[in-house]
Amino acid sequence: MTALGLAVPDSLEGTDLYAAAHGRVPVVTPPLVATAPGRYSTRLGSWLLRGELGKQPTLCAVDVDPACVNDVFDQRTFAARALWLATFRAENAALRVAGRPKDKQPVVLDPDTISALTVWGDVR
């Protein structure tokens, strides 16, 4: 949030995305889930699941395929299922906490930030 010039609330808990992108997080850690209308991306360890509603997601291991060129969704079904369930649970938890959706304010990102989020595995 600081990099985007946004105020960070004292009560906000989060994950250092730089540390996560470089594999410097504890082995036992919750999945990182990012969503946009109709799209999602979930990262757990080196696994990255991305997709759009109504379509089969893609899965890659960013430690061996940083650009996520090779979709291994059909070959790594256990990882695909684990990340899909993590995405589903995170979305359900967020809906329960939020109650009704609140008005969101769009953020305009510069090209460097967009590139950094794409490398981390954010939704496209």
Q: Which has more pLDDT, 42 or 14?
A: 42
* Predicted local confidence at residue 106, as pLDDT: 78
Alpha helix (H) ranges present in the chain? 17-21, 77-98, 111-120
DSSP string for 93-122:
HHHHHH-SPPP----PPPHHHHHHHHHHT-
* Predicted local confidence at residue 79, as pLDDT: 92
The Cα 117–Cα 114 span in angstroms is: 5
Name residue, tokens 């590139």. 115
Tens of pLDDT, residues 46-63: 899 999 988 999 999 998
In a domain, 112, yes or no: no
Is pLDDT at 34 greater than 80 in this prediction? yes
The Cα 119–Cα 21 span in angstroms is: 8
112 band by pLDDT with thresholds 50, 70 and 90: confident
Alpha-carbon distances of 16 from 47, 69, 81, 110, rounded to whole Å: 17, 25, 25, 20
In a domain, 108, yes or no: no
Per the structure, the count of domains in the chain is: 1
In a domain, 13, yes or no: no
- pTM (2 d.p.): 0.60
Query: What domain range is 64 assigned to?
Result: 28-97
Tens of pLDDT, residues 63-97: 899 999 999 999 999 999 999 999 998 888 877 77
In a domain, 38, yes or no: yes
> How would you list the strands of the sheet with 58-61, edge to edge?
32-36, 39-44, 47-52, 58-61
Give the CATH number of the domain where residue 76 resides: 3.30.1120.10
